[in-house]
Amino acid sequence: MNSSFDNIIKSEKPVLIDFSATWCGPCKMLAPILKQVKDSLGERVTIFKIDVDKNQELASKYQVRGVPTMILFQNGIQLWRQSGVLTKDEIIKTIVEKSN
């Protein structure tokens, strides 16, 4: 997973990683919000969900202590990170501002 993950985050297009867990209530609230973000931004962003229980090494590498945690990457560089649930508009604004 790590080498493919590294390839994913090296994209020139912004990549939003959603570190989440199946047992996490706020993670379930965030999923439809991220779908709306994807619907709004389309091909301008890639969004991936990473299950921290199945990918503990990756969660540890990025020091994910709580879920949900979103991390925005572009060209392999971490541009932004936030724990908790944000609104669709807050997430879109962040992606657009940070990736320009």
Task: Give me the catalytic one of 9, 15, 17, 27.
Answer: 27
Catalytic: 74? Answer: no
Stated length of the chain: 100
Task: Give me the catalytic one of 8, 11, 24, 55.
Answer: 24
Give the C-alpha distances (Å, rounded to integers) separating 57 from 44, 71, 74, 84, 87.
Answer: 28, 16, 21, 21, 28
Catalytic: 40? Answer: no
What does the alpha-carbon distance between residue 77 and residue 39 come to, in Å, rounded to a whole number? Answer: 24
**Residue 81: left (phi > 0), alpha (psi -120 to 50), or beta?**
beta
Known catalytic residues are 24, 27
